[in-house]
Amino acid sequence: LRGDTPLQRVRNLLVSDEATAQATIDALPLVLARNDLPTMDEAIAAEAKSKHFYIQPAALLAARLAFERDPSVALQRSEALVQRLVAYYLTDGTGDMPGWYRELAQRRPEWVAPVLLTYSLAKFKRKAFQAITGLWALGSETDHVALARLSLPQLLAAFPLRAGEQALGTLNRSLLPALPVLEDAQAAAIVRMKLRQTAMSAAQRIAWLVADLPYRAKAADELAALVGRNERRAVLLGGALHEQGTPGRVVQQLKPSSVRRLLEVLAPITASERWRRDGIVTVADDRGDTVRALFSVLSSNPGADARDALNSIEGSKGLGAWGDMLRYSLRTQHRTAREAGFLASPPRQVA
């Protein structure tokens, strides 16, 4: 829309005079007082048909302006109005996450969770998977922890077993990285429940086994057995590790034997060069970063089990171009172990 001020833009939108445009702006806050606003279910049902109610953008704008004037107003609305606005935002899915939604996710998660679940579970059931607004924040935003604890168990339990590539991206990037907000016992139980499903695709089983790594040591062995010599599955494993943030989030919790199994699968199919000349970061580059992070975990561990893991990798002769990195890691681990065991002599002995 053309115009340097809100008044000019509204006037151009309505093709009206200045008085009518100003009256429209003045009346915008009253949108939220209407008693005929579409309900949560109506908004979600309309979105399923690729439609929306024309009043929804006006309601979202009114909510944003009200929050900018007084943030406390977000917590003063009724549950019914809050759930309407949350449904409008989720089904709209454009622009940055509004401040009032963040406030409600943190302070009224019990009101937001039912809407997020209704909206997301309906999208799970569609044949053509589409992006789902709001899921990405569950594992990455500190103000969404309470909301994640309320909604994540049902979202994971209902996730379709035969999900396509885009759906797997949502699982790896948004849902599984949020598992640490749950208690370990609850998270581990959810993962075990999903892994018992026999109809799951190999690609999704890899994703769940990666999520299982912090909770069960044998998960690495099962991953290695599932991937075997299948390069496509090895690529999926590298992608799942990177997308779930395993190297930076949980890899330090893994046993050296688990790290060794992952390296034995990933290193042979991954180039050791860090960056290509064109500067474009590819999936293979991300996998290379994961391999380097796994080597770093072993080399920084002073324990004998880390040394044994590195020696075992050296004996496997399957590292390809990563031989230099392995030798460097062995030297670094030896130095780390020596420094960890160093004891300074008492002053009297020095004297």
Q: Is the dihedral of CA 124, 130, 133, 139 positive or negative?
A: positive
Amino acid at 47: E
HEC-encoded secondary structure of 41-93:
HHHHHHHHCCCCCCHHHHHHHHHHHHHHHCHHHHHCCCHHHHHHHHHHHHHHC
Distance, CA of 313 to CA of 264 (rounded, Å): 7
- The pTM (predicted TM-score) of the whole model is 0.87
pLDDT of residue 250: 78
Instruction: Compute mean pLDDT per 10 residues along the chain, 351 residues long, and list them.
Output: 82 84 85 95 95 94 94 95 98 93 97 97 84 94 97 96 88 95 96 94 96 93 94 95 88 88 92 73 90 94 94 78 91 92 67 57
- Quote the pLDDT of residue 188: 96
CA distance 108 to 100: 11
pLDDT of residue 350: 60
